Each structure stands twice: as C-alpha cells, then as structure tokens.
A and B are shown apart, each in its own frame.
Chain A
C-alpha cells in the first residue's frame, strides 16, 4: 500500500506547480485505481458504479485527509482522467494491432468484449484529434479529457477547473462539435 503521506506530499507539490511531482504520483494513483476497479468489478460488475465514487474512494484511500486541501481533490480527479486516457489509448493500440493480425491468437474472449477493434480505432482517432485541439485550445481539450475519459459531469468538471458550470458547458458544446467534425 503506497503511503498516504507520500501521496499527499506529491499532490501538494504538484498542486503548487511542481511538475516533476506528477511523475511520482501517476503510478501510485494508477495502482490504487486498478485495485479498486478489480474489487468493484468482481463484486458488483461495476454496473451501478459512479465515476466520482470510484475516484473519490481512491482519493480517500490514498490521500491523508487531515493534511490535504480541497484543491488537492480537484487535481486528483484531473490525474485520474489522464491515467484513464493513457490506459485506454494503450489498450486501444493493442486492440487495433490485433485487427491487423499481430498476436491475434493471444487474445482471450473477455478482453475482446471490452473494446471492439472498431471502437479502438475511434478512440485512437479521438485521441489524435484531442491532441490537435490541445494545440490551439488547451482548455477545451482538458474539458473533454475530464468529461470523456474522467467520467466527470459538468459540475464536477467545473469544480476541477475552478470555473462556472455554465462556462464548462459552453466550451463542451463547441469542443464536441469540433471533434465530431474531425472524426466524421
């Protein structure tokens, strides 16, 4: 079990603008998300599970509440969304390569149902488009990351980005329109 004091410290440093702290943080958060995901999906198949509950649970388990500030929680959600994005994209890359035949016989049935090759291609295209969007409108790209990969709703996204929900909503509309067109 990674230490909550270590994570709290890393999170605080990252919140304070120390970018290198993120490097230490990501594997720890990922490990915990994995652990919780496994347990939840084993027990309840995750059907009724809310995104925020999962990330909140990870946060409560990983971060020393007495030392953390409320902004830390917002940053924690942001990290979780980034982790989810990377994991899904890595996964999609592997799935996509399966379609091309490489190592096709190694894939078990259950892992295929998680994401179809077509879905994987869509996801990879989205990831690319999102990276392009980031170059001229990083704010919108972050909103999409938090909402689509992080599973946050408008209000939660607003909390993480410290803006009004209406602002998130406006940017989300245009981001969606732009991405749809790019992927169309």
Chain B
C-alpha cells in the first residue's frame, strides 16, 4: 500500500472511530472528498473492527509459555549418533547440550548453532573454523573436540563433557587466594602452551571459558575465536597460502571487551601474546575480585583499556610476594613487545612463584610450631580469644570455651597438614571483619565495604553472620539500600544454621534487629536496641561504640559522648573511640574536649602506624580549627595530612571536598581542591571499585558546597551545585543522596523567598525518611520554620519535635 494513502486511511479511520454512528457516514463522505477507494477502505476496516470476537483479543503469550516449558518443544531429540539429554548452557556462539554418544557409549557435550542463525553463512563459517582449529589440540587442560558435524540443517560439534563449575561461577562466590589463583592460571597457561604449539590462538580467554572440575582439574573450553595460526614467513607467499590463514571478518570486534588485549581492541593483527594478556586479566580478577579496566559503556571500557593503567592491586597482595606484581605487570603490558614473549615464560614464573609461596608458608608454620610447644600456642590463641570475650580488643565477643574448642580443632588440622599449604582463611576472615568494623567506627565506609566484602566471601564460618550484618550496615551508609537489604535477607537465611550450631546469642539477635532498624532509618529504635545490648554486655567496648553511633544519628550529642567515653574507659587503646568522641564534642561546641580527644586518637593511630586513621583525625582537626577561625593551625593539619602516604581514592575525594569546603571563600584554592576531588572520583569510577562508582561521595561533597554557598547567600552557585548533585543522585538512583539534594533545593527556595516551593521539595525529601507517612502541609511548614540553613541530618533529627509538642506522633 502507498504510504501516503495509508496515512489518509489512518486519519479518517481514527476520526470516524471517535464519532457516533450517526455522524460517521456524513463525516466520511465529506472527508474522503470524492475518493471512492479511500472511502471503501476505511469503511471496510471499520466493519472488520466492529466484528465481534477475534482470537487476537487474548494475547498468545500464555500458550508461548506452555510451548516454552515443554521439555521436548524445540530441542532436537537426536543428532546422528548422539541422543540429546538436556540443555546445559547457552553462549554467544551457540547452545550447549549434554548428549549420549551411542557409538562410543559415552557422554559428550554438543554445541549447536541456534536455528535462528543457521542462515547466517558468516556465523556458520566462524563456527566450523573454531571447531576445526580446536580439534587439532590434544592436552589434558583442553576440552577435547571430537567431531564437527551437520545433521539436516543443524551445525554442531561434539566435545568432551566437563563436569564442574566455570571459573565465573567460582568467582561469583568471591575472589580466590593467591595460591588458588596461581594454580588455576598455571593450568590455563599449560593449555595455551599446547594450543600455541599447534598454531592455535584462543583469543577469548575469560572466566566463562575456564571450567574447574570438582577434583581441581582445569579445562579450557570454547576456542570460540580461534583462528588457524601458523608462524609463517611473510616474504614467502606460497607458504602463507599453505598455512591456511583464516581471518575473522575485518572490523568485526569479537571477544569480551574486559578481557581483550589492547591490540585486539584496536582491531590490528594479534599473535599468541593476546592470550597472555587475557590470562593476565583473569589472574588479576581472581586475585582482586574485579577486572583491571572498567567502564560503564563498552566504549569507556575500550578507552580505559587503551589509555589507563590497571587499578593497583591491594597492599596485602603486593606484600604477599614481590613477584606477583611483576608477573601481572609483564602479562598486562599494553605494548606487546614488553609482555612475556611466550606463554612458556609465564609458566616458569608462575611455577617459581608458587614454589616460593609454599615454601614460605611452610617455613612460617614450622617456625611458629618450633617456637613453642603445641600447648603454648594453643594457650596463646586462647588468651587472645579470652581477651576478645572480655572486650579488651575489637573482636566479636565469643564464649571462651567455644573459641578454644574451635581453635583446638583448627590447630590439630593444621598440624596434620603441615606438608600441605594451609592458608588460614579463619584468621583472614576474622582480620577482614575486624578491619571492617574499625573502618566503620572511623567513618571510612569504603574501606569497610571492601574489607567486609572480602571477609564475607568465604564459606560459612563463625563470624560470617556478623560480617554480613555489618556489611548491610555499611551498604546502607553508602546509600546502597538494595544491597543492604540483600545482605540482611542473607543474614536472616543463615540465622537458623547459626542457631542450631548454638552460635547465635541473644546479643547477636539484638544486633541484627538494630541493623534492620538502622537500614529502615528507624534510628530511635536502633538506639534502644543498642542500649539493650550494652545492658547485657556492659564491658564490651564495641557495643558502646555502636550505641554512640546510634545516638549520633539522632543528634543526641550528650548521650553519644557518654557512650564513647565508656568505650574509651574500657579500651584506652581504641583510637576510633577517641576519634568519635572528638567529633561529638566538636558538634556539642566543646572545643577543648574535642581537641583533647582528637589528640589522643591521633597519638594512638600514629603509634599503631595506622595511616588511614591518622589522616582522618588530621582532616577533622583542620576542619575544626578552620571553623574556629584558626587558619594557620588548620593549614598545619592539612600539610601534615598531605605528608602521609595513603593512596586511597575515597579518602582523597572526601578530604579534597572537605578542603574545598574549608576554603570556599578563597575561591581559587577551593576550586583547586574541588577539581582534585572530582579527579579522584573519576579515578574510582574508572577503577570500577564500586558498582555505582563514587557518586555518593560526589553528591555529598556537592551538597555540602551548595549549603556553604547558601549560607553566604550566593544563590547562583548554590543552585548550580544543587542541581548537579540532584542530577547525579537521580542518575545513580541514590536514595538518601537524592533526599539530601532535594532538601538543599528546598533551602534554596527558602532563601529566594518561596516557602511553598520549598515545602514541596522538603515533602519529597521526607518521603525517603518516612516512606509510610503522609505529612500535611501544615506539618511541613511547622518543620520548615526550625530548619533554616541547618544541615540535612540535623533537620531530620529535628523533625517531629515541634509536632510532638502539638501532640502529633511521628512514626516511621
């Protein structure tokens, strides 16, 4: 049909539909304007439109569901000599089935091109090419290709069926230990060595293509991008021809971008060294839990891959063995000439590294054992456990005897296995948990998130439950409410296990409830629950810290300060207790007390060589000094902070925003700090350290600066910053950050003299804090009168007070 005509039909048809039957005829006569064909067509359509009933009225989706669910609906029953048993997977290059080979009576994996794609000759060619190349390799670490076949219009390959998990599935449960990661890399490297010797480059090494059998044996699958590759003399065309070079289509970027080598990303010719790069990325990911180059889009990722250096591996990894960083650097060198020349060299280095690590682990164990008798060691560990139970150090309180029993079992096991490498994941987990809790207390939520995530990745262990609970708390602090809730439901799911193991105390239960209340932003009842915990366990400094923090959230400064003082008294070496005490005293306006507390915190952090903590104290002190007008003193603190080596992106962002805020009146300096903060935020985003990147930090920083401009009555700048904050919060779906930005937006309206508009923003901001409440305009207005130029947290803490005075009860 002519599109012009169709459009006229459409216009008339729709117009006619909107008219009454009586008017329709005359309308169409006029509108058709003597075009009998048009008139007939429209009348025709109107007639069929009015016909009663049609099978089209009921979507056919449900039938589709039934067809989909039919076990035999769309899948081949037989494929020549193979009987299909079940579908076991699907990937970009085709579906995979488990099948039985009736001739050789064995199980095989059948990889099949999706029927939808069999009319794509390019894809068929690529598929056959893959199989052919791979079938020439024979190595125990390579999944063997048996046959390349066509049955009817089904193109397939049959290959060795490997039972087990893909490395991706293994990594989903958390990153691996250094030894595990190196063991796996070694086996993959051996598979590659054999393939390279046959002239086959894998070109798509990634965790999805690496199978780990239950016995620990590694099999490399899917030579999905393999092309026949022979080392040929470029000058001898006959030889080149003989070598049957098959190229993938030019300009077609294949492979998974995160694992692609720079030369692959550029689309230039690749050689075997591309596999060395990809294996380097996989090794990096096994160790760190994320890939070295990240980007929110494919393009960003490619840019990062080509231009950026990988995010540095953590200090603990760097210190494990200097060779580890060297290995990664050489595998992940952008210039392939700087990379290892052959995979054989990688194998040698990995083997040596493994030997070293095993040896030193064994030495470590032996020296520990030889230093004292088994009994002495047990006593030492038990003493530590006792101190933990006593609350003299930051540890989860555990009944002494339980700790001793567990340690006893662990020790016996360790002794029995001295020939084998024993990485004490127990200690690692516990250390991660403690580091996380310490970071929480000094308000360093990013470090806490990393430490706790790491500790939470291992299998069930006695501190698993609290680790996940703490993690929920941290995610909520970081405005990742979905994750917080996820952690919390995981905690709920493992509580029965812990209870049946007699390892879920009343205090633990209260603690989980308190965190639930905190995540629901029901801070008042969280504080009550924490209060019950300290009543049960008044000698536990950690419990007092938690109580203090819950009071801080509701701005009960006196109660918070008292709680921290109790924590300091119980454990005079608990630096974070002094740090928090200083913060609270400063908020109360007691500068003298604040400084005393900060000094003690700084002293303790310095003695413990805790750079992150020292830095935090110095920042807080400079802010305080500046607030009091002591600019020289403030500058001294900043200079001292600057001299501390601490390459942590998050604290850089936070610090620089704080400095930008301090100097906001001296605009040049403020601008510089702000740009530093943004630059570091960008680094975090590129390093892909957190899913939503540093947006929460950005919004908080921008909101703070906006508030400062507001107080200076610089409405233009205030608005600029507020709008940017709002945009970022919305983009990343950050809930509390958005509420904060909306709140500042409301403040902006107040300054401009539009209280009604302000109330609108406030109302929306409050919706996050009180999701179930519906506040009247009058209640909002009442609140508004108490919060002019006040920061968000204080404003929220103030909400309800004037209402309570009127007899209105505010519930969350």
Interface residues of A (CB under 8 A from B): 1-3, 5-6, 9-10, 12-13, 16, 20, 23-24, 26-28, 30-31, 33-34, 37-38, 40-42, 46, 49, 51, 54, 65-67, 84, 86-88, 90-91, 110-111, 114-115, 119, 122-123, 126, 136-137, 147-151, 170, 173-174, 176-181, 183-184
CA distance A75 to B44 in the complex (A): 35
Q: Give B65-86 as 1s and 0s: 1 = Cβ < 8 Å from A's Cβ atoms.
A: 1111111111000000000000
Q: Which of B670-703 contact A (CB under 8 A)?
A: 691-692
Question: Are A87 and B17 touching (Cβ within 8 A)?
Answer: no
Q: Which of B39-60 contact A (CB under 8 A)?
A: 44-49, 51, 54-56, 59-60
Q: Which residues of A contact B805 (CB under 8 A)?
A: none
Question: Are B68 and A87 touching (Cβ within 8 A)?
Answer: yes
Question: Are B69 and A34 touching (Cβ within 8 A)?
Answer: yes
Interface residues of B (CB under 8 A from A): 1, 3, 6, 9-10, 13-14, 17, 44-49, 51, 54-56, 59-74, 87, 89-95, 114, 116-117, 120, 123, 168-169, 208, 252, 256-258, 296-298, 482, 691-692
Q: List 21 A-B contacts (CB under 8 A).
A: A13-B298, A34-B69, A38-B69, A42-B69, A46-B62, A49-B62, A66-B691, A88-B64, A119-B55, A123-B60, A126-B56, A136-B1, A137-B6, A174-B45, A176-B54, A176-B56, A177-B13, A177-B48, A180-B51, A183-B54, A184-B48
Question: Are A111 and B51 touching (Cβ within 8 A)?
Answer: no
Partner of A176, one of B44, B49, B297, B298: B49
Q: Which residues of A contact B73 (CB under 8 A)?
A: 87, 91, 111
Q: A37-B65, A136-B1, A177-B48 are in contact. List 8 more A-B contacts (CB 8 A).
A: A2-B90, A23-B120, A38-B71, A41-B66, A49-B65, A91-B73, A178-B45, A178-B48
Q: Which residues of B contact A49 (CB under 8 A)?
A: 62, 65
CA distance A136 to B61 in the complex (A): 25
CA distance A10 to B6 in the complex (A): 36
Question: Are A181 and B208 touching (Cβ within 8 A)?
Answer: no
Secondary structure type dominating chain B contacts:
helix
CA distance A13 to B46 in the complex (A): 42
Q: Which residues of B contact A28 (CB under 8 A)?
A: 90-92
Q: Which residues of B contact A119 (CB under 8 A)?
A: 55
B62 (CB) vs chain A CBs: closest residue: A46
CA distance A3 to B172 in the complex (A): 10
Q: Which residues of B contact A90 (CB under 8 A)?
A: 74
CA distance A23 to B119 in the complex (A): 12
Which are the 4 A-B pairs with shortest beta-carbon distances? A151-B61, A24-B92, A177-B49, A66-B691
A33 (CB) vs chain B CBs: closest residue: B68
CA distance A84 to B212 in the complex (A): 35
Tell me, rounded to whole Å, the shortest Cβ–Cβ distance linking B157 to chain A: 16
Q: Which residues of B contact A179 (CB under 8 A)?
A: 56
Partner of B116, one of A1, A10, A86: A86
Partner of A2, one of B10, B47, B91: B91
Q: Which residues of A contact B93 (CB under 8 A)?
A: 24
CA distance A3 to B9 in the complex (A): 48
Q: Which residues of A contact B62 (CB under 8 A)?
A: 46, 49, 151
Tell me, rounded to whole Å, the shortest Cβ–Cβ distance linking B199 to chain A: 27
Q: Which residues of B contact A137 (CB under 8 A)?
A: 3, 6
Q: Which residues of A contact B95 (CB under 8 A)?
A: 27, 31
CA distance A32 to B507 in the complex (A): 42
Tell me, rounded to whole Å, the shortest Cβ–Cβ distance linking B642 to chain A: 34
CA distance A11 to B807 in the complex (A): 54
Question: Are B65 and A46 touching (Cβ within 8 A)?
Answer: yes
A20 (CB) vs chain B CBs: closest residue: B252
CA distance A6 to B64 in the complex (A): 26
Question: Are A173 and B14 touching (Cβ within 8 A)?
Answer: yes
A91 (CB) vs chain B CBs: closest residue: B67
CA distance A96 to B322 in the complex (A): 69
With A88-B67, A114-B66 as given contacts, are A180 and B56 in contact (CB-CB < 8 Å)?
yes
Question: Are A54 and B65 touching (Cβ within 8 A)?
Answer: yes
Question: Are B92 and A181 touching (Cβ within 8 A)?
Answer: no
Question: Are B74 and A84 touching (Cβ within 8 A)?
Answer: no
CA distance A116 to B252 in the complex (A): 44
Question: Are A67 and B691 touching (Cβ within 8 A)?
Answer: yes
With A12-B298, A16-B297 as given contacts, are A181 and B64 in contact (CB-CB < 8 Å)?
no
CA distance A3 to B92 in the complex (A): 11
Tell me, rounded to whole Å, the shortest Cβ–Cβ distance linking B21 to chain A: 16
Question: Are B117 and A136 touching (Cβ within 8 A)?
Answer: no
Tell me, rounded to whole Å, the shortest Cβ–Cβ distance linking B479 to chain A: 13
Partner of A66, one of B14, B51, B64, B692: B692
Q: Which residues of B contact A27 (CB under 8 A)?
A: 90-91, 94-95, 114, 116
Tell me, rounded to whole Å, the shortest Cβ–Cβ distance linking B733 to chain A: 9
Question: Are B59 and A88 touching (Cβ within 8 A)?
Answer: no
Tell me, rounded to whole Å, the shortest Cβ–Cβ distance linking B688 to chain A: 10
CA distance A175 to B117 in the complex (A): 29
Question: Are A23 and B48 touching (Cβ within 8 A)?
Answer: no
Partner of A87, one of B74, B89, B692: B74
Question: Are B54 and A6 touching (Cβ within 8 A)?
Answer: no
B116 (CB) vs chain A CBs: closest residue: A26
Question: Are B44 and A37 touching (Cβ within 8 A)?
Answer: no
Question: Are A84 and B61 touching (Cβ within 8 A)?
Answer: yes
Q: Which residues of A contact B6 (CB under 8 A)?
A: 136-137
